[in-house]
């Protein structure tokens, strides 16, 4: 037996599905929406939350990014902190805090609007050069 086998972690991979469900729910995402963001079928995602399957490491990294948590938070080694938006605009920050209460459909619409504004801003700055 090597030293790596003797290390006991405070968490278990069997708890992963519960943390995944909790983190997803706390961000007010549906299983279908998170599956869509991951580019997988909702059925596969449901298997993960039910504990019937476990995603590959690369997918776990992607999940952590989407849920805005660290891998330690996703693995249960550290409590998940509420993620703060990176905006310095107080009004934008206030509205950002309310985005999770929107339906998935409204969130998708908001993403389209924000994306087009960012693209327009980039185009304007390139044209000004």
Of 20 and 86, the one with more pLDDT: 20
How confident is the model at residue 48, as a pLDDT? 93
pTM of the predicted structure, to 2 decimals? 0.56
Ranges of H-type helices in the chain: 3-6, 16-26, 31-38, 42-49, 57-67, 71-75, 90-96, 104-128
Q: Does residue 125 surpass a pLDDT of 60?
A: yes
Tell me which DSSP letter residue 101 carries.
Answer: G
CATH code of 10-75, in short, is 1.10.260.40
Measure the CA–CA gap between 106 and 109, rounded to whole angstroms: 5
Q: Mind listing the pLDDT tens digit for each residue in 10-69?
A: 445 558 889 999 999 888 889 999 999 999 999 999 999 998 998 999 999 999 988 888
């Amino acid at each position: 037996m090597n030293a790596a086998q003797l290390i006991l972690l405070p968490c278990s991979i069997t708890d992963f599905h519960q943390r995944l469900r909790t983190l997803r729910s706390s961000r007010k995402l549906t299983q279908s929406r998170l599956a869509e963001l991951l580019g997988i079928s909702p059925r596969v995602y449901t298997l993960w939350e039910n504990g019937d399957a476990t995603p590959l490491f690369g997918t776990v990294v992607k999940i952590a990014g989407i849920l805005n948590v660290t891998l330690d938070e996703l693995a249960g080694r550290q409590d998940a902190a509420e993620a703060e938006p990176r905006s310095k605009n107080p009004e934008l920050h206030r509205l950002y805090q309310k985005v999770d209460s929107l339906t998935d459909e409204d969130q998708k619409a908001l993403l389209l609007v924000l994306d087009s504004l960012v693209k327009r801003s980039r185009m304007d700055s390139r044209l000004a050069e």
